[in-house]
Structure 1
Amino acid sequence: MSPTGRRAAATVLTAALLVPLAACSSGDDTEKGTAGSTPSGSTSTAPRANLTVLAAASLTDVFKTAGAAYEKSHPGTRLTFSFAGSQELVAQVSQGSPADVLVTADTKSMDKVKADTGTPAVIARNRLVIATGEGNPHKVDDLKDLADTELKVVLAAPEVPAGKYSKQILDKQKITVKPVSQEPNVRAVLSKVELGEADAGLVYRTDAESAKDKVDAVDIPDDQNAVAQYPAATLKDSGNAEAAAAFVAWLSSPEGQKILRDAGFQKP
């Protein structure tokens, strides 16, 4: 099927997914940025467009902030974010779901749809931490403690980038963990710990930081950790190619990078 036909065939499905989510006040899956007034003396030349950005779940909070900042400095552009596990986003792209930009939490996921994207650019990096309940009631000090069979540990599923990174670091240390559940994205892992349904879980540092009033973060030494990379790329089926490219480029700009750094993401 041609890109145009594939895009059209997926329109109904994607609309069914995005529209109800956009109406949710929680914004857990889809969040629309807030347009700001035109800054005095604005020289933005980015074309006006409504962009749909498929982004890894761990970018939920920072992209809401980035979206508001981008809309303010680029009048006429509206951003709609759809957040999910990178494997889910890749599946959407493969099925031809209409979107303009893809940002995953690992390069392997992006590589799976390289025929559908422009050249990716890594916009940030991240590392894992052990998330525990507030006050670390079970006294989890390091990765070895996760092997305790009396500890309720939750991990991201193996096909999720956070799950792959978790398996990588646990295997490297020869630590066997039997999780009580394996979640479809890293934010679901964080939620389990926040709600007390798990005693500990492996999440990105930025996820733990976003919930620091509800969870504690136990650092993992760099020599035992894994580095997550976040590539961003335009989608070839986008009907707003120029505007999509402008947003991807902005993510690597000083303004975009400052927002990412302030949220705890590391330099590309």
Structure 2
Amino acid sequence: MTRSVCRTRRTRRMLQVTGASAAALLALSACSSSDDSSSATSDSSASASSSDKLSGTVTVFAAASLKESFTTLGAAFEKAHPGTKVTFSFGGSDSLAASITGGAPADVFASASPKTMKIVTDAKDNATEPVTFVRNQLEIATLPGNPDKISSLKDLTKSGLKVVLCDKEVPCGAAAQKALEAGSLKLTPVSYEQDVKAALTKVELKEADAAVVYKTDVHAAGDKVEGVEFPESADAVNEYPIALLKDAQNAEAAKAFIALVRSADGQKVLTEAGFLQP
């Protein structure tokens, strides 16, 4: 069912990080843990007690769908730990995994699926044990006002409709294929894109009528697109694991950043962006 413009605008306003919310992040320890993880609590306490010792750059490779949330958390982390800098490389999880196994320097990997994380963990034991920190669900992004009256996944199979999907090797593409299979549907897109942001951009630029992306990306786009929920998405929810890479150049700061992501404060930023709890 198509969400109303009012709901879309409310969601967008909720996503905006106000000075008050940033202050709340900083007032609490950037390395506090989520309540359901004793290991995260341990890491958080250690990081909090030695916060003055954290310095240098933390290099994070993260799925494209995490761009807005992680950028917010990176800024909060830097303010909580003067002398640190968080740099990001966002993209398709499969491409990021290939870069890491190919020797690209990184401290943290946050993937949009366990499958792409496994590429890294299986390659010469490159990472510590991954932990799921959020989940994400698919949604159809249409042109503003939904001029083609798309109300279901089946509607995307209409003749003449230009639909874009993520590449099948990318987590959002694999999830879209799973959703289509759940609905016994076949769809030939006008293009397969390398990551979810690229797929969404096709709709934003009016080069496509619709794209199957994540709810979080529809939310982040605001009035540039309109979101349409579909029941088959429940059969294709992606888990997002995060891990410290064993060749990390700044392991202590990297652990502290992961602790922030998993903390109550980090989870608040992520859930307000539309992610689901792990």
TM-score category of the 2 structures, normalised to the smaller one:
0.7 to 0.9
Does the aligned pair in 2 maintain the 1:173–1:224 contact within 8 Å?
Answer: no
Q: Mind listing any 5+ residue stretches in structure 2 that lack a counterpart?
A: 1-22, 30-47
CA distance in 2, matches of 1:201, 1:41: 38
CA 1:248 to 1:41, structure 2 compared with 1: closer, same or farther past 3 Å?
Answer: closer
Does the aligned pair in 1 maintain the 2:165–2:189 contact within 8 Å?
Answer: yes
CA distance in 2, matches of 1:222, 1:68: 36
Letter in 1 for 2:86: L
The TM-score, its normalising length taken from structure 2, stands at 0.79
TM-superposed deviation, 1:149: 2.2
State yes or no: 1:45 paired with 2:50.
Answer: yes
The answer for the alignment partner of 1:75 in structure 2 is 82
Does the aligned pair in 2 maintain the 1:172–1:224 contact within 8 Å?
Answer: no
The TM-score, its normalising length taken from structure 1, stands at 0.82
State yes or no: 1:266 paired with 2:271.
Answer: no
The answer for the alignment partner of 1:87 in structure 2 is 94
CA distance in 2, matches of 1:181, 1:66: 32
The answer for the alignment partner of 1:247 in structure 2 is 257
The answer for the alignment partner of 1:202 in structure 2 is 212
Q: Mind listing any 5+ residue stretches in structure 1 that lack a counterpart?
A: 1-35
- Residues 218-259 of structure 1, C-alpha deviations (whole Å, 9 max, x = no match): 011267541111111011111211211121122111111111
Does the aligned pair in 2 maintain the 1:128–1:225 contact within 8 Å?
Answer: no
CA 1:52 to 1:141, structure 2 compared with 1: closer, same or farther past 3 Å?
Answer: same
- Residues 25-71 of structure 1, C-alpha deviations (whole Å, 9 max, x = no match): xxxxxxxxxxx9xx799866232121110000001111111111111
Letter in 1 for 2:207: E
State yes or no: 1:124 paired with 2:131.
Answer: no
Does the aligned pair in 1 maintain the 2:164–2:193 contact within 8 Å?
Answer: yes
Does the aligned pair in 2 maintain the 1:133–1:196 contact within 8 Å?
Answer: yes
Does the aligned pair in 1 maintain the 2:182–2:232 contact within 8 Å?
Answer: no
Name which of 79, 104, 112 aligns with 2:111. 104
CA 1:223 to 1:49, structure 2 compared with 1: closer, same or farther past 3 Å?
Answer: closer
Name which of 148, 166, 172 aligns with 1:156. 166
- Residues 190-223 of structure 1, C-alpha deviations (whole Å, 9 max, x = no match): 0001111000110000000011211000011267
SS in 1 for 2:62: strand
Q: Which has the higher contact order (CA 8 A, sep 6+)?
A: 2
CA distance in 1, matches of 2:183, 2:218: 22
Aligned residues: 231
The structure richer in helix per residue is: 2
- Aligned identity (percent) is 48
